[in-house]
Chain A
Amino acid sequence: MKKRLTAAALLLPLLLSASACSGNNTPAGPVTLTDQTGRTVTLDAPAEKIVSCYYVSSYAVMALGLSDNLVGIENKADTRPIYALSAPEFLELPAVGTMKESNVELIASLDPDLVIMPQKLAESAETLTGLGFDVLLVNPENHEDLCGMLSLIGDACGVSGKADELIAYYDAQMTALDALTAGADAPTVYMGGNSSYLTTAPADMYQSSLIALAGGVNAGADLEGDYWTEVSYETILAYNPDVIVIPSGADYTAADITGDTQLSALTAVQNGAVYTMPSGIEEWDSPIPSGILGAMWLTSVLHPDLYSAETFTADATSFYETFYGFTPDAALLQ
């Protein structure tokens, strides 16, 4: 079992680099796309100059090898460590706005061929469309939509082959993970929210599917909703999870949880099974192009006997080398 995953991880980059040669040769010409809010966008030619108003789409631009084509980026780019590692030029780009507001005039002055915006900025998108710019609205809230977004951007920029490679990698890894953890004991995992460990991931949240993929049972699976849901101490005690996972972007640390006297009796705390998802590169707990690493990391935490930390480090390193063109420091991956 362990062998198979390692083999897949070793083979994949080879396979991918082979297909990459053919993938970039999409013929130039008008491209008609339907974005993730159902709008129709027609580009005369594959986009050369791109503005991204959302960090997830900026990550996608990077993962698709389009870093040189980005001319504008969302605010607070300096808070995303991956930029400095993979595309330091991003930090010099003009900041065009936040998730809530975008600087339409600044975007217009950059004269982009394509603007990628989150669904929340639909209003600004209409304004820009009215000015004659092509805008793609994306909404990568789950794995399917993440893949959809990668395909959209790939098609719009003439690198659909690169998007297919990424998606093929995800599929291969997911199949491998499923096979790996099938039949193994599934520990109960409590995933704390970003703002407080008294919030957790409910059934319909991305993080819940991530736990399932890693061969765990989400403690909050009975909760309804698709966003961090507040729970009480008592509820956590009643769940009594085997493992507590703190997401990459959390405002608190494992010491806060282990030091909380109300939680000292939890199995996870007693066994020292409180883990923080690595945050040195990207937020692996969210639907971003490297989100698959979150599931792989969690598998290595929940089932170290089936998928060791070393194997994970090797897999993650080769992922970044293949798609992002840099070799991460091993310390950033644990």
Chain B
Amino acid sequence: MRGRSFCTAVLLAVLLAALMFTSLATGSYPLDGDDFVTAVRELFLPRDAQSMPTRVFWGLRFPRTATALLSGVTLGLCGGVYQMLFGSPLASPDLTGIASGASFGAALAIVMGIGGSFARTGFAFLGGMFSLVLVLLLVRSAGGERKSTYILAGIVISASADAGLMVLKTIADPERQLAAIDFWTMGSLAAVSSEKAVPLAWITLPAVLLILLFRRPVTMLSLGTDECLAAGLSPNLWRTLLLSLATLAVSASAAVTGVIGFVGLIAPHIARFLYRRRSGGYLAVCSAVGGAILLAADLAARSLGNGAELPVSIFTVAAGVPVLIVLLCTKREDAS
């Protein structure tokens, strides 16, 4: 057991480091070894005094790598939290309608013609959070705190947001707005810059750290309501708290990158295969796996198109499906 955990940790650390290094070294703007050294030396210079390679590195390359890592970590971690909280191997951050709500928010900003990418980001974030509030209200008014109530409420809200999205797509101008909506719903890190990465880090980093620190309540919630109460954990309070934190982080990341499919679903399954357990370091492994998937997918998205950016979801799904099939065929049935 100990040996396996250690191997997993080393393997993931090496993989993440390698992917991050490759990500920092790959891009359409030519940067060589000297440029990286210069970039580090010029880090604290005012922007105007920095050389062009330094600006590219700190303004674009590094923020993009950090965003890929952070968004992947967020999706993987929150996927793990959702699967444990709902005791369902199918649970993912999309379940509470975040992806649909965020897409609806972004599409609304686009169709209403509200300015630049920052307004779009804000609307997407609000859309995601609004979905969560609606889901929680629905669960509350349904009176049930069962896991299935959450899942049903999530489906209701997702479906409503999707219907709203379809309405928006119908009235959208096909040349400009529809194309923008489509780009957004397929996910991309092409537009990431330091101006977007910094606010994202301010929201997701604390949320991710808090969830990792509060991993024990996550474990306890997966043991059931009665066990929680007997051991002194208020299940409703903590489920709401953890879901809100997870949604906050996922909405923030979706607001910057658009909707990225499958990472939240697949990362916890890979983590479970690597780590076997769902306690202790499991959520950290989920995070690392999510980060690695998105870093790799973004590398492919930016380098396979000869300068053109491909939707990152193509690669997360392409990587996810075979892994899921292999896991399905080799792993014994999950009792949960």
Q: Do A and B touch, yes or no (CB under 8 Å, in the complex)?
A: yes
A223 touches B307 (CB 8 A): yes
- Interface check B106, CB cutoff 8 A: no
With A231-B308, A261-B195 as contacts: A195 and B177 at CB distance below 8 Å: yes
A250-304 contacts to B (CB < 8 Å): 250-252, 256, 261-262, 265
**Complex-state Cα separation, A193 to B110, whole angstroms:** 15
Chain A residues positioned under 8 Å from B193 (CB to CB): 233, 261-262
From A196, A223, A238, A262, contact of B308 by CB (8 A) = A223
A57 to chain B, nearest CB (A): 16
Question: Which residues of A have CB within 8 Å of B37?
Answer: none
Asked whether B47 is an interface residue with its Cβ less than 8 Å from the other chain, the reply is yes
Known contacts A223-B307, A224-B306, A237-B29; is-contact A251 B180 (Cβ 8 Å)? yes
B179 contacts A235, CB within 8 Å? no
In the complex, A193 Cα to B175 Cα: how many Å? 9
Q: Is the interface of B mostly helix, strand, loop or mixed?
A: loop
CA distance A235 to B309 in the complex (A): 9
CB pair B306–A262 under 8 Å, yes or no, is no
Cross-chain contact A249 with B309 (CB below 8 angstroms)? no
Q: Is A122 an interface residue (CB 8 A)?
A: no
User: Contacts A232-B309, A234-B27, A234-B29 known; A249 to B190 CB distance under 8 Å?
Assistant: no
Q: What CA separation (Å) do A261 and B194 show in the bound complex?
A: 10
Contacts of A100 in B (CB 8 A): 174
CB distance from A269 to the nearest CB of B (A): 13
Q: Which B13-38 residues have a C-beta within 8 angstroms of A?
A: 27-30
Q: Which of B100-158 contact A (CB under 8 A)?
A: 110, 113, 116-117
List, in ascending order, chain A residues with CB within 8 A of B305's CB: 223, 229
Interface centre among A222, A234, A238, A249 (most CB of B within 10 A): A234
Check A222–B307 contact: CB distance below 8 A.
yes
Interface size counted on chain B using CB atoms at 8 A: 37
Q: Which of A193, A237, A238 contacts B179 (CB 8 A)?
A: A193
A198 within 8 A of B: yes
Other-chain residue from A196, A199, A262 in contact with B60 (beta carbon distance below 8 A): A262
Contact B176 A249 (CB under 8 A): yes
Q: Which residues of B contact A232 (CB under 8 A)?
A: 27-28, 60, 64, 189-191, 302, 309
- Contact flags B172-197 to A (C-beta < 8 A → 1, else 0): 00111101100100001111010100
Expressed in whole angstroms, the minimum distance between the Cβ of B183 and any Cβ of chain A is 6
CB-CB under 8 A from A196, the residues of chain B are: 117, 180, 183, 191
Report A-chain residues with C-beta under 8 Å of the C-beta of B175.
Answer: 194-195, 249
Contact B29 A238 (CB under 8 A): yes
Q: Select the residue from B61, B189, B308, B311 with max chain A CB neighbours within 10 A.
A: B308
Chain B residues contacting A261 (CB-CB under 8 Å) are 47, 59, 193, 195
A194-B28 contact, Cβ under 8 Å, with A222-B306, A230-B188: no
Are the CB atoms of A265 and B52 closer together than 8 Å? Answer: yes
Tell me whether chain A's interface is mostly helix, strand or loop, or mixed: loop
Q: Are B188 and A231 in contact (CB under 8 A)?
A: no
Check if A99 is an interface residue, CB within 8 A of chain B. Answer: yes
Docked complex Cα distance between A232 and B306 (Å): 11
Contact assessment for A238 and B28 in the assembled complex, using a CB-CB cutoff below 8 Å? yes
Bound-complex Cα distance A249 to B64 (A): 29
Q: How far is the CA of A130 from the CA of B60 in the complex (A)?
A: 57
CA distance A199 to B188 in the complex (A): 12
Q: Which B residues lie within 8 Å of A199 (CB)?
A: 179, 183
Closest CB-CB distance, A233 to chain B, in whole Å? 5
Interface residue from B61, B180, B306 paired with A234 (Cβ < 8 Å): B61
Instruction: Please determine whether A195 and B179 come into contact, CB atoms closer than 8 angstroms.
Output: yes
- The answer to whether B294 has its CB under 8 Å from any CB of chain A is no
Q: How far is the CA of A223 from the CA of B302 in the complex (A)?
A: 13
* Pairwise interchain contact B59-A262, C-beta atoms closer than 8 A: yes
| A88 interfacial by beta-carbon distance below 8 Å | no
A72 at the interface (CB under 8 A from B): no
Let me know if A112 is at the binding interface, CB within 8 A.
no
Q: B75 contacts the other chain (Cβ, under 8 Å)?
A: no
Docked complex Cα distance between A223 and B28 (Å): 12
CA distance A96 to B16 in the complex (A): 56
Q: In angstroms, how far is the closest chain A Cβ from the Cβ of B128?
A: 21
The answer for the CA separation of A99 and B169 in the assembled complex, in Å, is 13
Which chain A residues (216-254) contact chain B, with CB distance < 8 Å? 220, 222-225, 228-235, 237-238, 249-252
Q: Other CB < 8 Å A-B pairs besides A198-B190, A235-B28, A251-B177, 20 of them?
A: A98-B174, A193-B179, A194-B179, A195-B177, A195-B183, A196-B180, A196-B191, A222-B307, A223-B306, A229-B308, A230-B183, A233-B59, A233-B190, A233-B193, A237-B52, A238-B29, A261-B193, A262-B59, A262-B60, A265-B52
29 A-B pairs within 8 Å (CB atoms) are namely A99-B174, A195-B175, A195-B176, A196-B183, A198-B190, A198-B309, A199-B179, A224-B306, A225-B308, A229-B308, A231-B190, A231-B308, A232-B28, A232-B60, A232-B189, A232-B309, A233-B60, A234-B29, A235-B28, A235-B29, A235-B309, A237-B60, A249-B175, A251-B177, A261-B59, A261-B193, A262-B60, A262-B193, A265-B55
Shortest Cβ-Cβ A-B pairs, 5 listed? A195-B180, A230-B309, A232-B190, A235-B28, A194-B176
